[in-house]
Structure 1
Amino acid sequence: MEFGLLSVLPPLLAIALAIVSRDVVISLLTGIFAGFLILNNFNPLDAVIALLDNIISLFAEGWIAKTLLFSLMVGAVMRLVVDSGGVAGLVHFLTQKSRTIRSGKGALILAYIIGLLIFIESSITSLVAGTVTRPLCDKFGVSRQKLAYVCDATSAPVCSLIALNGWGALLIGLITAQVTDGMLSGSPTRIFIESIPFNFYALIAIALVLVVILRGWDVGSMRHYERQVTPTKLPLPADGGHISRMLVPLVVLIGMMPVSLYYTGNGNFLEGSGSTAVFYAVLASLFVSFLQYVLGGVMSREAWFKSFYHGLSDMLPIVLILVLAFTIGNVTKSMGTGQYLASLAGDLVSPSLIPVIVFLLSSVIAFATGTSWGTFSIMLPIGVSLAVSTGANVELVIGAVVSGGVFGDHCSPISDTTIISSMAAGCNHIEHVNSQLPYALMGGTLAAGLFVLAGLLLA
């Protein structure tokens, strides 16, 4: 059954309510219920039953269960490195002993560098950058909203430019399917690499956030949050803390990612499971922290488990939002929201305009569904088909698909990457979305202009 314009209603309702009410949970539930109401012929009882069944069925999906468990357990890691004195030790080392970080700008530059260097998985990128630099930002009076923006702008954009991670594996896999179907010819990896220079939004987002950091450029609500924040000092534990208590668990967390990708991919990084890899990585980090803290005499076994449970409970609100975000993703999939939006471009066949049309459609789909990967899966085959049939540059169109997916994802309050960036920085989710939006729109506008120009030059 085709739902047409009605298929857009649930995600737009959830997004509008989230922005107006600032209550993400109620907004998502409202959008989800509206979707199931439409799917069940406006029978409210059937809609409620379908809603509950769908939420329960989420946990049967291995990657979703692992993602939720990862989110819970990474909260435990974050709490443990704080309670052990690892965070305080890091702050003391960077600001007092080595005096490497002397200002809020320095703290944000550190977050930026972490975002560039840790490109294995976008969630890990945000969480490590946020965990390491949040206490530094607090010390120097940088708002957590600004930190969340830096984490978000250097996670998905950076990961979308790299072939050797889960993002690259997905995109190369989608391109491979087009080669197999005869739509494209040549090496899928080569085609993806040649499309990277056309991933305009990702490149602009990475450059723009550096300008914002270096020039202290605060616009919109970001200016308000920066003016309201006051520096806070992180108290040192009785033994003074030590940097190793933070670095060891985080190095294990980061280092286990490529190892786990290699293992789950049977010797091929590109075939590895991202959700399984982050799950294994956080388990290894927790195990090592137990050995380091308990056997090393930093914490008692009881204190370790107390911090562990507190960390899990800290993440419950975020996990609830993720569950609802995954559920509304299922609703939009069942209603064919992405396919409906993509079909709107069916009559627009000018080769020079195809790239910008694909970029805008991908942006809208990612914004409405909250998933860049889902957008890639929908739009890459459509984009390639449009490019081949009209003579548009294929690599440029693939770049437009990826750019649009990342841009729409950045603007969407129901995106899992946006939610995780809020969590990493420890700020209100809607405040992060609202304060990031002006920068994302600037980047999106510039990217759209570049796709128009490139479409004209390469047609």
Structure 2
Amino acid sequence: MFGAIFLGVFIINDFSIVTTFSGVATLFITLLSKGWILKTLGFAILVGSIMEILERSGAIASFVKYMTEKRSIVNSPRSALMISYIIGVVIFIESSITSLIAGAVGKPLCDREKVSRAKLAYVCDSTSAPISSLILFNGWGALLLGLIMTQVESGIIAGDSVSLLIHAVVFNFYSISALIVTFVVIWFGLYTKRMEASQVYKPSTAHISTSGASVWNMLLPILFLVFSVFGFLYLTGDGNILKGSGSSSIFYTTISTMVFMLLLYVVLQKMSFKHYLRASYIGGKKLFPIAMVLLFAFGIGEVTSDLKTGIYLASFASENISISLLAAVIFVLSGIIAFSTGTSWGTFSIMIPIAVPMAVALDGDVALVIGAVISGGVFGDHCSPISDTTIISSLASGCDVVEHVNTQLPYALLSALIALVFFILFSL
């Protein structure tokens, strides 16, 4: 990843070695001076602390015992993954929090049922962004609505922007197909050889006691996480959840959860303050490399933005396109841009101002084209190894990023193929 950043800066600086070294240093200084990036990196590290505290407090072990022995809710690999799938669908407020909670709940259950972390990472990733882009009572909806309103106010398209966004969501074929494919894969156990060969982790119970433990020791921090996100989105949005800052909200949520767990476990004597601090340190240390991967991913995103990669790719689609293939081409192009830049939101910002005028000029269905942009952005982001949602899904499930990308790619491509067929059919 560093090599890619260096090469990009090398091109930007007209192949000057001296200027390139200076440019790379300036790039990382700039990145680390941005509040939202620091908060995202802090979130990644604090997630590790939360996971470690949950494990060392005995909360995870007691939760697994409750789900598998007392209630027998989870008694098979399918049911272990289905719990995470349901959580991913129900919690749609923020894709990072969706992945975090689905991974936190699913990881011990999957370990108990000998389900590989790669399968869990696939489920976390395939429900987070797709569901967030379908149920738009979140930051995704605010961004897309703002981009569409810009097109309406500039006179490029006529009509109500909210109505247009609702119609566009109906054509978000990739997200719909990804959710359906994931459900079918879980229910029928349709795994590729590579997915089946992925490593199964043995649950660790060293130095963990469940005596006097309650299932609520696991559920209360999770519930606190969920409701805190809503609260901080409300606060950072000055009373409007849709305008709240996602990076600030998840950062403040993880800090608040750490304090809540301190009160829950230490004050109630589930663990000593010394063990709490040690667990926080060890957990954060484990996920520090993931935070660095995120930082490099943000760096690549900045470089590709400076190189105008998205606009350059989009220029290919601006000439000689048949109306019957417009939505399909927009979908593929958006997917390529999102894959190469690692951001679906950046892809939306690039492609909607390009795709909407093209649809108007060709007398095409504007809602269908916007749906193609959303689908392509989610698809490319889903497959990209430098995407924050890909990295966070790997982080939450405890799976290696490269293994996660390699094992989920066939399913993402299948969902994309289904979406592509629907875009061509609806265009015709």
Q: Deviations over 1:176-206 (max 9, x none)?
A: 1111111122322221111111000000000
Gap regions ≥5 residues in structure 2:
none
For the residues of structure 2 that align with 1:134 and 1:99, how far apart are their CA atoms? 17
SS at match of 2:140: helix
When the two structures are superposed, what TM-score results if normalisation uses the length of structure 1? 0.91
Q: Deviations over 1:123-144 (max 9, x none)?
A: 1111111111111111111111
The corresponding residue for 1:275 is: 247
Q: Which amino acid aligns with 1:363?
A: G
Q: Which amino acid aligns with 1:256?
A: S
The corresponding residue for 1:416 is: 388
Q: Which amino acid aligns with 2:75?
A: R
For the residues of structure 2 that align with 1:32 and 1:129, how far apart are their CA atoms? 32
Structure 1 residue corresponding to 2:292, chosen from 320, 323, 345 = 320
When the two structures are superposed, what TM-score results if normalisation uses the length of structure 2? 0.97
CA contact (8 A) 1:140 1:231 kept: no
For the residues of structure 2 that align with 1:397 and 1:79, how far apart are their CA atoms? 44
Q: Which amino acid aligns with 1:94?
A: M
The corresponding residue for 1:238 is: 209
The corresponding residue for 2:22 is: 49
Structure 1 segments of 4+ aligned residues over 6 angstroms from their partners = none
Q: Which amino acid aligns with 1:294?
A: V
Counting only pairs closer than 5 Å after superposition, residues 26-175 of structure 1 correspond to structure 2 as 28-175=1-148
For the residues of structure 2 that align with 1:283 and 1:232, how far apart are their CA atoms? 27
CA contact (8 A) 2:61 2:210 kept: no
Cα 1:128/1:393, change in 2 over 3 Å: same
The corresponding residue for 1:265 is: 237
Q: Does 1:442 align with 2:392?
A: no
The corresponding residue for 1:432 is: 404
SS at match of 1:155: helix
Counting only pairs closer than 5 Å after superposition, residues 355-366 of structure 1 correspond to structure 2 as 355-366=327-338
Q: Deviations over 1:1-54 (max 9, x none)?
A: xxxxxxxxxxxxxxxxxxxxxxxxxxx011001001111111122212211211
**Identity across the alignment (%):** 47
For the residues of structure 2 that align with 1:433 and 1:85, how far apart are their CA atoms? 31
CA contact (8 A) 1:366 1:408 kept: yes
For the residues of structure 2 that align with 1:375 and 1:230, how far apart are their CA atoms? 36
The corresponding residue for 1:193 is: 166
The structural deviation recorded for 1:238 is: 2.8
Q: Which amino acid aligns with 1:418?
A: T
For the residues of structure 1 that align with 2:142 and 2:242, how far apart are their CA atoms? 5
Cα 1:280/1:358, change in 2 over 3 Å: same
Q: Which amino acid aligns with 2:419?
A: A
Q: Deviations over 1:199-226 (max 9, x none)?
A: 000000000000000100011411322x
Q: Does 1:384 align with 2:356?
A: yes
For the residues of structure 2 that align with 1:434 and 1:284, how far apart are their CA atoms? 35
CA contact (8 A) 1:249 1:285 kept: yes
Indicate the RMSD between aligned Cα atoms, in angstroms.
1.3
CA contact (8 A) 1:194 1:395 kept: yes
CA contact (8 A) 1:140 1:232 kept: no
Counting only pairs closer than 5 Å after superposition, residues 384-403 of structure 1 correspond to structure 2 as 384-403=356-375
Q: Which amino acid aligns with 1:199?
A: N
CA contact (8 A) 1:39 1:335 kept: yes
Structure 1 residue corresponding to 2:280, chosen from 290, 297, 308 = 308
CA contact (8 A) 2:52 2:279 kept: yes
SS at match of 2:323: coil
CA contact (8 A) 1:220 1:438 kept: no
